[in-house]
Chains A and B, each alone.
Chain A
Amino acid sequence: MKNNGFVYVASKYEEFIQAARFSANSLRDYWPQANITLFTHEKWVNENDKILFNNIITKDVPDHKRAKLWALDKTPYNLTCYIDCDTYIIHEDIKNIFKQFDVKSDITITRARRYAASIESKFKGGELTDHCGLFIYNNESQTLNFMKQWWLLYCEQDEGKWNWDTDLYPEYLRQWDMWTYWWLQNKTEHKIKRSYFPKPDARWNFVYVYDDKELEGTDIVIMHQPVPRKK
């Protein structure tokens, strides 16, 4: 497989495959040669998808809201940019995204903004500081193991099999994969070396509620906004 590429994961809700197409189409506009892998369900794949995505994986993809975590360690690339489906590319600097990866680390990620979080990200036991909607990671064994653990622990978390000290870490964290990531990075031997996108990192993952000042006068490369779910 190619050296680097993007991974989209669309599962559980059909809105996500629609959003993944929207995002990948924008990626192709600005970088026609980009390698793009889609993990999704066979029943959702159409003929156009086979042109838009140069690799589609459907075998064993779980029908799960966090199938993303299942897919991460199955990346075909040496260097992978995982990108949420609810994004779109609006700048040609996307071609430079893999240059933002810090080779001294295993994962390069953007900072989460507390003011823009869906939940209170700061709690007695710590703070969720990394935005898990877009990141670049290598395929070293420790990194792929981390991704695997992320999926396994999230499943336990989601099924209520993993419980924690709710005085330090509130129960409302349960539904979030950012919490699982935080735990693995801060409390386990599975942790990997993390770096951040160079400042202004917000341009690489600009969540629609971010303040424009975060861009420090630069252009947004990747816009991030939640997919509206049909009732």
Chain B
Amino acid sequence: MKRTIKNPYWGNREKTQVICEFHYEDGPIQTAAITDTQEGNPDWKELFDIFTVKQIDDLTEKALAEAREEHEKRKQFEKDDIERMKVDALFSAKLEAFEIDLVKNSKNRELKSRIRKAKSIMEITAFTAALITLEYEK
């Protein structure tokens, strides 16, 4: 079946292997690794009839840059997820603090505001405890 070779890049530092795509006439695309052989690999010959070493160098650099970008994105997504979980946990704790009647109904605006603005669970706990203590002392 007729096919064309596309998107080649080096598969190793020694440049003895090329990873590329075989695009077949009826649609399928297959990823292939090509190396030369003692007898002479016709795929290898065909590849270098179409592409120069410089072109494969450039495509390799491009593929590496894309892989690096993808990796960075994935890392950022994971970081964002963790951040989001922390923010969610913090907000949930604030909501829970305000489900306590003594907190909710308190007129102590200063401490209530500190609970709302708290940056950690520990701060929420501390200010909530302080507020409840003050309410009991009334």
Within 90-137 of B, Cβ neighbours of A (below 8 Å) are at 91-92, 94-95, 98-99, 104-105, 109, 112-113, 116-117
A-B pairs with beta carbons under 8 Å apart, 18 shown = A21-B104, A22-B94, A22-B95, A22-B116, A25-B104, A26-B112, A29-B109, A29-B112, A29-B113, A48-B105, A88-B116, A90-B117, A225-B87, A225-B91, A226-B88, A226-B91, A228-B88, A228-B89
How many cross-chain pairs have Cβ atoms below 8 Å apart between A and B? Answer: 38
Range of interface residues on chain A?
A: 10 to 19
Please give the number of chain B residues whose Cβ is less than 8 angstroms from any Cβ of chain A in the complex. 16
Q: How far is the CA of A28 from the CA of B58 in the complex (A)?
A: 63
A45–B117 Cα distance when bound, in Å, is 27
Within 8 Å CB of A226, what residues of B? Answer: 88, 91
User: B residues within 8 A CB of A15?
Assistant: 95
Residue A208 CB within 8 A of the other chain? yes
Expressed in whole angstroms, the minimum distance between the Cβ of A51 and any Cβ of chain B is: 9
B34 CB, min distance to chain A CBs, angstroms = 38
User: Cβ of A48 and Cβ of B113 under 8 Å apart?
Assistant: no
A-B residue pairs, 9 tightest by C-beta: A228-B88, A29-B109, A22-B98, A228-B92, A88-B116, A18-B95, A22-B95, A228-B91, A225-B91
Across-interface contacts of B87 in A (CB, < 8 A): 208, 225
In the complex, which residues of chain B have a beta carbon less than 8 angstroms from the beta carbon of A18? 95, 99
Contact at B116–A90, with CB atoms within 8 Å? yes
Contact of B91 among A21, A29, A227 (CB under 8 A): A227
Please measure, in the bound complex, the distance between the C-alpha atom of A208 and the C-alpha atom of B113, giving whole angstroms.
16
0/1 per residue, B76-96, Cβ < 8 Å to A?
A: 000000000001110110110
Contacts of A223 in B (CB 8 A): 116-117
Closest CB in chain B relative to A201 CB, distance in Å: 21
A196 contacts partner chain B, Cβ-Cβ < 8 Å: no
Report yes or no: B91 in contact with A90, Cβ–Cβ below 8 A: no
B51 to chain A, nearest CB (A): 33
**Which listed residue (A21, A30, A227) contacts B109, Cβ 8 A?**
A30
Cβ of A19 within 8 Å of any chain B Cβ, yes or no, is yes
Nearest CB in chain A: distance from B121 CB, A: 13
A19 touches B95 (CB 8 A): yes
How far is B29's CA from A99's CA once the two chains are assembled, in angstroms?
Answer: 63
Closest Cβ neighbor of A29 among chain B residues: B109
Q: Is the CB of B113 within 8 A of A90?
A: yes
Contacting residues, chain A, for B95 (C-beta < 8 A)? 15, 18-19, 22
Residues of chain B within 8 A (CB-CB) of A225 are 87, 91
Q: Within the assembled complex, what's the spacing in Å between the Cα atoms of A25 and B113?
A: 10
Looking at the complex, which one of B92, B104, B116 makes contact with A48 (CB distance below 8 Å)? B104
Q: Which residues of A contact B98 (CB under 8 A)?
A: 21-22, 25
Task: Known A-B contacts: A18-B95, A18-B99, A228-B89. Give 10 more (CB < 8 A).
Answer: A19-B95, A22-B94, A22-B98, A22-B116, A25-B98, A25-B112, A90-B116, A90-B117, A208-B87, A228-B91
